[in-house]
Structure 1
Amino acid sequence: MTRQLDDDGRLRHLLTIAGLPAALLTEILDTAESFLPETGPPVKKVPLLRGATVVNLFFEASTRTRTTFELAAKRLSADVLNMQVEHSSKTKGEHDLDTLFTLQAMGADVFVVRHPDNGAAAGFAEQVAPGVAVLNAGDGSHAHPTQALLDMLTIRRHKPDFSGLTVAIVGDVRHSRVAHSDIDALHALGAREIRVIAPPPLMPAEPGNLGVRTHDRLAEGLAGVDVVIALRIQHERMQRTLDITPEDYRRDFGLTAENLQALPADALIMHPGPINRGVEIDADIAYGPRSVILEQVRNGIAVRMAVMAMIAGGRHRV
């Protein structure tokens, strides 16, 4: 795999959480904290990336990730180009790498890449010029590192001692890049226990290799947890793979008032979005007093600011 760190152990790309040391993850979270005031949105403007060009190169649709990366880059004073691939020469048959090389020739310094194929971001990182960074904004079912970092920041701001935490991830863990990155981050930061709760077809293929405990009953899996992360359920997969209706999934695995009776009163409720209301989580739970879902969105701006500042800030500091 393309090296994420330079010879001094600093970030040069961010492609996956796997293999990153806890000290570096903590440095990213600490840097993100510096962009977060006690109340309100992250800081409005700093000059750390003045003169840099950040390209959001999204081959898949996105709301939260793309817009928070855009806001983060602009708050670092970078120039930002949002590449709408569906309106690009890709529709005429242009290869993804030719798109990358063309934008690089225009002076791009950072590529934020979302792609449907596992490993696509790492493949791009192998091709960019020295000094150009690639940030993985989600590749297939492989990884979503900044989502994991914003999840860890959100948890840490409420429950700072990871060594005492039990975290449950509910839903389609097998196909979830968010779950894979969250599991890597939780292990690196020393979480006491990670649980996966899902119907058997959505369990990871080899959960033992991930270091997680599996549960196929929601109440059993939620007992005693400190944090529960619900994952988006893809409606198209429920009929084809699960042989279960959305109604049945909500009854057995949805975060509803009835199903959360086993959840401790001080547990955090999280979701990476977008939410399927009334399937994996009910609206009154998603926006209720234990939910930190909107905090996740806010913290995502700060985390993405931190990553870009740490990778590219030194090259463009005025």
Structure 2
Amino acid sequence: MRENPQESEMAKPLEHFTHTDPCTDDQLHELVNRALQVAGNAQAFANALSGRLLINLFYEPSTRTRISFETAAKRLGMHVVNISATGSSVEKGESLFDTFDTLQAMQPDFIVVRHRDEGVAEALAERAEPGLHVINAGDGTRAHPTQALLDAVTLQQAFGDLRPLKIAMAGDIRHSRVARSSLALFPRLGVADIRLAGPADFLPTDAERDGVRICRTLDEAIDDADAIIMLRIQKERISGLSIPSDADYHAAWGLTESRLERAAPGCRVLHPGPINRGVEIADSVADGPRSLIRRQVRNGLHTRMALLLELDGHGAYPGV
């Protein structure tokens, strides 16, 4: 019988980070705490991984995630190579696995991969040679584990304790890899009240379970919520569904200042980006005093620094 990693008393050190399931609860809490340590004194970790090589292998567009990994690596003193499908041998017909094997023959320490197909990062991790760490920067609609992790870091930074939080997640949840990773991660960090809301076609069919409920309206979801995570419509992943106009969507599902008044007085607003202003969120909310959106971006840097250190085996951090 295969051992359940969540129940293992002697968890193996992390080799890859393709999704959160293989991690123990202790490892997930440790990653959050390490990221908070980095956020508290990022300069203490300068050049901690000097000489290591990280390759960003991105088959889909990205701003925050790719630049965040690149900046995190450079803050740690690493060399960075960025590769996209456009302009590479992929355009000549080279397969993903051949591209990966070519890159790992150059002996990088980390390969960060983003791909439109689900399960790609896990398949590459199984193919990786010893000493190479594979990190999932988003695969299809399946997972975006570092985004979920940085969102947890941002919430803990803001509230101090995740366990009592009531978290609303609204928008295109069905096609969002961020939502899937968050729904896998947050309960394991102690969150027991998660509300989901969105148009019927944008809601998953398998999400409702203990601690997670589907709400009929955005107002119902955000009522007395401590945190609200807004998600954009994933138009690039939708086929065969009717997408409402921007104005109609905003009227029914957009987070406005008046709607935000239904939430708890100290409620904070998150969005993984990119933001479609005036669609899922109003300008005044995205830029308002309750918004943690820019802090999410900053914590993306700190969280990814902590992850790189953890995968490299840096158990003791300097200066903290």
TM-score, length basis structure 1? 0.92
Residue 252 of structure 1: how far off its partner (Å): 0.7
Q: Deviations over 1:75-107 (max 9, x none)?
A: 111111011221100000001111111111112
Q: Does 1:284 align with 2:287?
A: no
Q: Does 1:222 align with 2:222?
A: yes
Residue 246 of structure 2 aligns to which amino acid in structure 1? Answer: P
Q: 2:261 aligns to what SS in structure 1?
A: helix
Q: Which residue of 2 aligns with 1:28?
A: 31
Q: Which residue of 1 aligns with 2:72?
A: 72
Residue 82 of structure 1 aligns to which amino acid in structure 2? Answer: N
Deviates more, 1:150-159 or 1:239-248: 239-248
Residue 55 of structure 1 aligns to which amino acid in structure 2? Answer: I
Is contact 1:46–1:75 with CA below 8 Å preserved after alignment?
A: yes
Residue 45 of structure 1: how far off its partner (Å): 5.6
Q: Which residue of 2 aligns with 1:163?
A: 163
Is contact 2:5–2:11 with CA below 8 Å preserved after alignment?
A: no
Residue 283 of structure 1: how far off its partner (Å): 1.4
Q: Which residue of 2 aligns with 1:91?
A: 91
Counterpart Cα distance in 2 of 1:4 and 1:122: 16
* Aligned-residue RMSD, C-alpha: 2.4
Residue 240 of structure 1: how far off its partner (Å): 4.8
Change beyond 3 A, Cα 1:44–1:297:
farther
Deviates more, 1:276-285 or 1:6-15: 6-15
Residue 125 of structure 1: how far off its partner (Å): 0.5
Is contact 1:238–1:244 with CA below 8 Å preserved after alignment?
A: no
Residue 174 of structure 1 aligns to which amino acid in structure 2? Answer: R
Residue 37 of structure 1 aligns to which amino acid in structure 2? Answer: G
Summarize the alignment of residues 1-318 of structure 1 with structure 2, pairs less than 5 Å apart: 8-37=11-40, 42-43=42-43, 46-209=46-209, 211-235=211-235, 240-314=240-314
Counterpart Cα distance in 2 of 1:308 and 1:147: 14
Is contact 1:117–1:139 with CA below 8 Å preserved after alignment?
A: yes
Residue 282 of structure 1 aligns to which amino acid in structure 2? Answer: A
Deviates more, 1:196-205 or 1:294-303: 196-205
Deviates more, 1:197-206 or 1:268-277: 197-206
Counterpart Cα distance in 2 of 1:210 and 1:52: 43
Residue 237 of structure 1: how far off its partner (Å): 6.9
Residue 192 of structure 1: how far off its partner (Å): 2.1
Q: 1:35 aligns to what SS in structure 2?
A: helix
Counterpart Cα distance in 2 of 1:281 and 1:13: 34
Q: 1:143 aligns to what SS in structure 2?
A: coil
Residue 251 of structure 1: how far off its partner (Å): 0.4
Q: 1:24 aligns to what SS in structure 2?
A: helix
Change beyond 3 A, Cα 1:288–1:239:
farther
Is contact 1:238–1:246 with CA below 8 Å preserved after alignment?
A: no
Counterpart Cα distance in 1 of 2:194 and 2:277: 25
Change beyond 3 A, Cα 1:235–1:145:
closer
Counterpart Cα distance in 2 of 1:226 and 1:16: 26
Counterpart Cα distance in 2 of 1:146 and 1:93: 30
Counterpart Cα distance in 1 of 2:239 and 2:165: 35
Counterpart Cα distance in 2 of 1:149 and 1:43: 21
Q: 2:178 aligns to what SS in structure 1?
A: helix
Gaps of 5+ in 2: none
Is contact 1:4–1:13 with CA below 8 Å preserved after alignment?
A: no
Residue 207 of structure 1: how far off its partner (Å): 2.1
Is contact 2:36–2:157 with CA below 8 Å preserved after alignment?
A: no
Gaps of 5+ in 1: none
Is contact 1:174–1:202 with CA below 8 Å preserved after alignment?
A: yes
Deviates more, 1:210-219 or 1:27-36: 210-219
Counterpart Cα distance in 2 of 1:234 and 1:175: 6
- Percent identity, please: 41
Is contact 2:5–2:24 with CA below 8 Å preserved after alignment?
A: no
Q: 2:40 aligns to what SS in structure 1?
A: coil
Is contact 2:144–2:178 with CA below 8 Å preserved after alignment?
A: yes
Is contact 1:230–1:271 with CA below 8 Å preserved after alignment?
A: yes
